[in-house]
Structure 1
Amino acid sequence: MTAIHETMEVIEVVGDPYCVTKMLCLIGVLLKSVGLWFLVSAKVTLLIQILWYQNYAGISGQTQFLYSIVFTTRFLDLISSYYIDPTSCYLTKIILLFMSYSITFLLYFSKKSCQREYDNFKKLDILVLSSLVLCQLVNHGTDIINVFRAFSVFLEAMVIIPQLYFCSKAKKIEKTIYNYIILLTLYKSFHLLSEVYNYFYVESNFDRIAVAAGAIQLIFYCDFFTREQSDYKETMNRDVETGNEQPKNHDVHPKESEAMRSAAAPATGYSCDVVLLPSMLVLGEDKVSAATPANMKQEERQ
């Protein structure tokens, strides 16, 4: 903050106070733009998983459908705008709209559909209706663009709920989805940081609605990471008590790790191939295979 004040004093000495306000506005816009590109990176991550790897596992189609509604209602000014503001990330808005529609289309209309048995959050209408009611009560203006922009902000605060419901019901979190939620957390963190900066330096750009909705959205993200860390620690403690080793597959949810280990473990408690490998090299595979525990049991029965 001291460096910013010193820069302001230098510019004021030069005699152009308008440059001070413009520079402060650009810093707030820069923070918001960094957050916006984290959001673009999150959408690109999903598109890579769908198009390149042909993998739809773990992605909630309901969340992506709600994101399409969010960006459509937020960027209505693309149609009615009379000029392009260089600080409004005009091209980024178009990219977000295109990627949101593409992901939603691929999830619902491709041959490999999303996992409907997990992606069935029953209260989507409540999320949309509550956002509609809130945008009528709290907004920055009565015109349709401001009302729908407030609607998109309120809906975005709850858009992650179907994805979290998907993960809790599937009891498995794909690595791509985990990274996707991390990028969304960074996106919203930079947006809130931009609003805090505007509150102290450019109060005219401060958006109370965005701060309130963004704080709620960050609470959902923090709750998700807290639950995952607690589940992971409980599984690790259980493994230490039972003397089992934690698997290194991070794609598997901790709640499923114990069941998968018990299902994958051999009935005899060890691998015969590994134990008999030196004998195979000396005697040959045919002679050693006749001395395996299964064959010895059959000989005893005979």
Structure 2
Amino acid sequence: MNRTIETEKDQLTRERRVQQLVLLLKIQATKSCAGVSLKTQELYAIVFLTRYLDLFTNFVSLYVEWNRWKGETQNRRSGTNAVKQRLTAKLASDATDTYCWIFRSYNTIMKLIFIGSALAIIWLMRRHKVVRQSYDKSQDTFRYEFLLAPCFLLSLVLNNMFTVMEVLWTFSIYLEAVAILPQMVLLQRTRNVDNLTGNYVFLLGAYRALYILNWIYRYYTEPGYRQWLVWLSGIVQTAVYCDFFYYYIQSWKNNEKLQLPA
């Protein structure tokens, strides 16, 4: 399967990656990770690492591409008319590939940035001498082995193609649907939720809910559009957030601090 341009598989985590960066900046600015579940962040890191394995198969070397383009440009300037014409024709024929190359470069760089941000959050919560003191390890005790094993087994059975890349990508889709559960459990145990953490969790769920509307629209407007595995995972993920959505909206309507039932 060609992953050289931004496909729906890349779009699935585009907003999620932005939210990951926002969380990282929030932790760095406040030097606090209070209310943030390390378990959930570790699960999201696994999601990114298993979803972006195409970095090893579709790697883009900006250095090589730049030198190739520079060499062709110099030859075009210094060569004979025949050489110039051939190079001009070649550059024109490559124009249609330029758009794809830009997206390949963009995806390669951004995927590395967001994998790095996910790992940076984990490092801050585990190792930073100030940030780690605000991490409530005693409350963040969700055993995510009970999520990893079922998701992996399900990906072996329900997938688009039984290859290593596709099975791991499918695993990442299933795991993303439930990765927020440790965060939800932590918020329920601590009950009081600060505004930044509450907004972060709400946006995580809201973007997936909006994707469902996008899928419905595409189903009726694009012939043959079917993404059963993605749809199922998206519905499950949105359902996980429903209880949180209710209390979040109630707190917003009543202008009260968000509190979740124990």
Greater RCO, 1 or 2 (C-alpha within 8 Å, sep 6+): 2
Residue 238 of structure 2: SS of its match in structure 1? helix
- 2:181 aligns with 161
1:101 correspondence with 2:78: no
1:183 correspondence with 2:207: no
Q: Does structure 2 conserve the Cα–Cα contact (< 8 Å) formed by 1:29 and 1:194?
A: no
Letter of the 1:253 partner, please give it: Q
Deviations, residues 238-294 of structure 1 (Å, cap 9, x unaligned): xxxxxxxxxx773x63779xxxxxxxxxxxxxxxxxxxxxxxxxxxxxxxxxxxxxx
- 1:151 aligns with 171
Deviations, residues 134-183 of structure 1 (Å, cap 9, x unaligned): 10110010111100010000000100000000000111111111111122
Q: 1:92-241 to 2 correspondence within 5 Å?
A: 92-111=110-129, 112-113=131-132, 114-121=135-142, 123-203=143-223, 206-228=226-248
Deviations, residues 75-129 of structure 1 (Å, cap 9, x unaligned): 11111126766567614322321111111111112223221011111x3111000
Match 2:31 to one of 51, 54, 57: 54
How far residue 43 of structure 1 moved from its aligned partner, in angstroms, is 1.4
1:253 correspondence with 2:259: yes
Taking a change above 3 Å as real, the CA distance of residues 85 and 133 of structure 1, as seen in their structure-2 partners, is: farther
Taking a change above 3 Å as real, the CA distance of residues 87 and 206 of structure 1, as seen in their structure-2 partners, is: farther
CA distance in 1, matches of 2:13, 2:244: 21
Taking a change above 3 Å as real, the CA distance of residues 86 and 153 of structure 1, as seen in their structure-2 partners, is: farther
How far residue 202 of structure 1 moved from its aligned partner, in angstroms, is 3.4
Taking a change above 3 Å as real, the CA distance of residues 203 and 132 of structure 1, as seen in their structure-2 partners, is: farther
Letter of the 1:107 partner, please give it: M
Normalised to the residue count of structure 2, the TM-score between the two structures is 0.71
Identity %, equivalent residues: 25
CA distance in 1, matches of 2:183, 2:198: 11
CA distance in 2, matches of 1:203, 1:159: 32
Identify the range of structure 1 (45-54 vs 74-83) with the bigger mean alpha-carbon deviation.
74-83
Residue 173 of structure 1: SS of its match in structure 2? coil
Taking a change above 3 Å as real, the CA distance of residues 93 and 187 of structure 1, as seen in their structure-2 partners, is: farther
Residue 119 of structure 1: SS of its match in structure 2? coil
CA distance in 2, matches of 1:65, 1:156: 11
- 2:16 aligns with 39
CA distance in 2, matches of 1:194, 1:208: 14
Q: Does structure 2 conserve the Cα–Cα contact (< 8 Å) formed by 1:198 and 1:206?
A: no
How far residue 48 of structure 1 moved from its aligned partner, in angstroms, is 2.0
Structure 1 residues without counterparts, runs of 5 or longer: 1-25, 237-247, 257-302
Match 2:52 to one of 52, 69, 75: 75
Q: Does structure 1 conserve the Cα–Cα contact (< 8 Å) formed by 2:34 and 2:136?
A: yes
- 2:70 aligns with none
Based on CA coordinates, which of the two structures has the bigger radius of gyration? 1
